[in-house]
Amino acid sequence: MNKATNNACEGCEINKASNLKKLGINIDKSDYVVSLAGNPNTGKSTVFNALTGLKQHTGNWPGKTVTRAEGGYKYNNKKIKLVDLPGTYSLLSTSQDEEIARNFILFGKPDVTIIVVDASRLERNLNLVLQVLEITDKAVLCLNLMDEAKRLNIDIDVRTLSRDLGIPVVPTVARSKEGVSELLKTINDVATGEIKCKPYRIKSLPKNIHNAIEKLRLEIEEEFPNVPNSRWIALRLLDGDERIIEAVKTGEFISE
């Protein structure tokens, strides 16, 4: 297999130097905004460091990043601002770290959201993935910690996963920079619209709830024709989310 040589190239600085320029925190004017979401302790900050060349402290415990960290890089002459969000298990509750993450994806409208998941704990991580996919259309799944999955004898069929979720899936080992250049290219392609995502929407819902969501969704779309995530707003309204109710009152997410 040419796998070994591939990996060697990935880790090599010369390989990326042609396309990637790490910008650290120099992110004044950016062409695209990309956010990093994911469960705690899946290596978001490691991915962040690998892309920006910054040295955010990383640690092996859930909840290490509680603020938004920002950095930037340049790829194919496009300046990209990368925002590292706090790791969360869901976007449905009200703790402050979850709110920071959710509000950024919803109101910050990133051009691409990278969802970093722990390949060795995929099922549990998918809960958050599905919630993020309810909010945004443009997402990339970064299947991180592939080395750990391998050591645990877990095989993941990347193509099936990608087809099921309707978004590109990139396996990585961010620690040793494996898969990073593939990730960069995919982010770029999603941002430019070269790759179109058709994200999975939550299906296993009782009939009456499904109908209620549809009814409300259509009404929201009628009133705010440009809103990209009417279904998510419907979900949150039905859940009685104060912040979203407030946003509907003020029309926060349509002002652009």
Partner 1 sequence: MNTNKTLNTSNDLRWQIGEDFHDKLTEGIYSDAATIAQNSVHKKGVTKRFRFDRTLDKIVTHKIWGFPIMLLILSVVLWLTIVGANYPSGLLDDLLIGNIHPWLKSMSETLTLPNWLSGFLIDGVYLALAWVIAVMLPPMAIFFPLFTLLEDFGYLPRVAFNLDHLFKKSGAHGKQALTMSMGFGCNAAGVIATRIIDSPRERLIAIITNNFSLCNGRWPTQILIATIFIGALVPLNFAGAISTFAVISIALLGIFLTFVVSLFLSKTILKGEVSSFTLELPPYRPPRFWKTIYTSLIDRTLIVLWRACIFAAPAGAVIWLVCNIYIGDTTIANWIILNLDGFGLLIGLNGVILLAYIVAIPANEIVIPTILMLTVMSSSITGIGEGNGVMFELESMAATSEILKAGGWTLLTAVNLMLFSLLHNPCSTTIYTIYKETNSVKWTTIASVLPIILGFLVCFIITQVWRIVI
113, β-bridge pairs: 35, 139
Assess 95 for contact with partner 1 (CB under 8 A). Answer: yes
The token duo for 256 is 């652009």
Residue whose tokens read 């099921």? 164
Nearer to partner 1, 2 or 60 (CB): 60
Q: For residue 141, give the nearest of 112, 111, 178 by alpha carbon.
A: 112
Residue whose tokens read 């010369």? 14
What's the CA gap between 165 and 130, in Å, rounded?
A: 8
* Closest approach of partner 1 to the CB of residue 200, in Å: 7
Choices 19-27, 73-81, 86-94, 185-193; region in contact with partner 1 by CB under 8 A: 86-94
* Closest approach of partner 1 to the CB of residue 78, in Å: 29
* Closest approach of partner 1 to the CB of residue 114, in Å: 18
Choices 4-12, 17-25, 77-85, 210-218; region in contact with partner 1 by CB under 8 A: 210-218
Q: How many CA atoms lie within 13 A of 98 on its CB side?
A: 12
Q: How many CA atoms lie within 13 A of 11 on its CB side?
A: 8
Assess 127 for contact with partner 1 (CB under 8 A). Answer: yes
Length of the chain measured in residues: 256
> Considering only residues 126, 139, 167, 184, which one is a binding residue for partner 1 as defined by CB under 8 A?
126
Cβ(73)–Cβ(146) below 8 Å: no
> Considering only residues 96, 107, 108, 194, which one is a binding residue for partner 1 as defined by CB under 8 A?
96
Q: For residue 127, give the nearest of 3, 216, 237, 42 by alpha carbon.
A: 42
> Considering only residues 25, 108, 196, 223, which one is a binding residue for partner 1 as defined by CB under 8 A?
223
The token duo for 140 is 């990339």
Phi, psi of 87 (to 5 degrees): -75, 135
* Closest approach of partner 1 to the CB of residue 50, in Å: 13
Residues that bind partner 1 (CB under 8 A): 40-41, 55, 57-63, 66-67, 86, 89, 92-98, 120, 122-124, 126-127, 129-131, 148, 151-158, 160-161, 164-165, 175, 200, 202-206, 208-209, 212, 215-216, 219-220, 223, 234-235, 237-240, 245, 248-249, 251
